[in-house]
Structures are given as structure tokens and as C-alpha cells.
Amino acid sequence: MKPRRNTWQREAVRAALVGAHGFVSAQQLHQTLRDSGSTIGLATVYRALASLTEDGEADSIQAPEGENLFMSCGSTGHHHHLICRSCGAARELDATVVEEWASKVGAEHGFAEIEHVIDLFGICAACRAKEA
């Protein structure tokens, strides 16, 4: 882990990320912070998110639309998510089955350095209740 200075900006991003409860985009996070009176710059939000992700304090995924989404994340190990398309809420998943499938399939086809992108998107119970 690289040396990091503690700045209020970095702390603000961390706090906003925790407060978001689910996946949010860097842009959303920046807007939220500005709306609450912060003068933080967009580039700084990106920088803070990148370093938090690097340090394992945050997880990032690619939304189907191509945007990068971030979420504060306790469990440090590799894991996957089930994300609500509507509100961004996420559940961590135990994907042992799939991990095994991935490495087996990779090996079978003679591929090395297998990485996998596995994410589930849906509409959570709460959001469905809201819409009805």
C-alpha cells in the first residue's frame, strides 16, 4: 500500500461513499459533495476513488452503460455483486461455484491468466414495491 496523506477531501469521498449505501458513480459522488457545500474538484474525486479502490476500501464495477461505479466495501477478498439497477443497492455474493467454473473452463481452452467479470443486475424487492 502506497503512502497516502490524509486530506479532508479524501476523507469526504470516503464518507460520501459509505453514506451512499450501494454503487454510485464518481460524477454522482462529486455532485453530492458539491451540493452539500464542498468545493472538492472532480479530478480529486476520481483520484480518491482510485486510491480507495487500490487500497481495497472500495470496490468498482462497470455499469452496463459503461460508467464506472464505486461502493465502499468491508470484505477485502475477491468477490462479486448482485446490484439493483434502480437504486444501486448491492449484495455481496459467494461465487465459489462460478470461480471454479471459470478456472476450469479457462484451463480447458488452454487460456492462461484468466480474469473474470461476473456481475448480476436486477431490481430489488424494495424498488419493486415502490414502483407498484
Partner DNA sequence: GGCTAGAATGAGACTCATTCTCATTTAGAA
Partner DNA sequence: TTCTAAATGAGAATGAGTCTCATTCTAGCC
Which residues are near DNA by CB under 7 A? 3-10, 25-27, 39-44, 46-48, 50, 66-68
**84 interacts with a copy of itself by CB under 8 A:** yes
Pairwise CA distance, residues 37 & 23, whole Å: 22
With CB under 8 A as the rule, give the number of residues binding a copy of itself: 34
Q: Which three cell numbers stand for residue 49?
A: 476513488
Contacts to a copy of itself from residues 44-63, by CB under 8 A: 62
Closer to DNA by Cβ: residue 52 or 89: 52
Q: Are 70 and 53 in contact (CB under 8 A)?
A: yes
Closer to DNA by Cβ: residue 39 or 96: 39
Tell me how crowded residue 124 is: count the other CB atoms within 10 A of its CB. 19
Q: Are 75 and 83 in contact (CB under 8 A)?
A: no
Pairwise CA distance, residues 41 & 30, whole Å: 8
Select the span of 15-23, 25-33, 51-59, 80-88 touching a copy of itself (CB under 8 A): 80-88
Helix (H) or strand (E) holding 24: strand 24-25
Contacts to a copy of itself from residues 87-106, by CB under 8 A: 91, 93, 95, 97-98, 101-102, 105-106
Q: Are 70 and 59 in contact (CB under 8 A)?
A: yes
Residues in the site for a copy of itself, rule: CB under 8 A?
A: 62, 64, 66, 68, 82, 84-85, 91, 93, 95, 97-98, 101-102, 105-106, 109-125, 128
